[in-house]
Amino acid sequence: MLSKKISLTLSALFTLSLSACSSHPVYNGHAPHNDYSHNKRHVQNDSPRVSNWQFPEKNYRPINSSKLLGNYTEQLAMKLIENMNYINSNTPIAITSFVNLDDNLQTTNIFGNHLAESFITELQEFGLSVVDYKHTGTVHVTPNGDFSFSRNGREIKGYPHIEYTLTGTLTYTNRGVIVNARIIGAKSKVVVSSAKGFVPSFVVESLYPTRRVDGIALDAIL
């Protein structure tokens, strides 16, 4: 009788273990093993999007990371310097926003603009001359602050002579963004240097406003 009870108990435990395995897939070591489906109704519908690309919901995100966009920009800048031709410390270079690799090449975002801003610092540190064509040449004093930059072409007096431009394209994947950077001759349109890099999605996410769940700010996107 006892052996029959043990057999029934083992059978029941085996059945429960099978049902548990079917409802909870094995952790693969890459994505956090959490099921947030029951919280979806509480999440505000304001998840940051880049064009038609959305940050992967179940991708690797380090809890603590010191990696910043500048770390990846520095690597790209080093590759550009290594491959560079026809440019020296006296050659003016303008840096424009990186754009989405789409049909019109006229779409950018926070990431594309931050990438361009970061390159200004990196190229200067390598001793190259950078042209900031968004500077108006004057200071506009207002109650909200004092400004010298503008994106209004009419406010920018006399565009400087630009010989080369640093720009590039952005390609979005389910793990992050592929960045293709290049330096191009303004007149010849010849690519005098190029570099390719990858920026993980958690670094891109850090540039966007934090999402909130039930009014509580979260460091990571669920």
- Mean of per-residue pLDDT scores for the chain: 74
The pLDDT-based confidence of 212 (bands split at 50, 70, 90) is very low
Q: Which two tokens stand for residue 33?
A: 């093993």
State pLDDT tens for residues 158-204: 767 789 999 999 999 988 999 999 999 999 999 999 999 999 988 88
Q: How far apart are CA 210 and CA 29, in angstroms?
A: 25
**The pLDDT value given to residue 20:** 41
**The pLDDT value given to residue 178:** 96
Instruction: Report whether 131 contacts 160 (CB < 8 A).
Output: yes
Rg of the chain, C-alpha, whole Å: 25
pLDDT value at 105 more than 60 = yes
pLDDT value at 151 more than 90 = no
> What is the secondary structure of 88-111 as a DSSP string?
-TTSEEEE---EESSSSS----HH
**The pLDDT value given to residue 59:** 59
State pLDDT tens for residues 58-89: 555 555 555 788 899 999 999 999 999 999 88
> Where is pLDDT greater, at 216 or 126?
126
Q: What is the dihedral of CA 125, 126, 129, 134, to 10 degrees?
A: -50
Predicted TM-score (pTM) of the model is 0.65
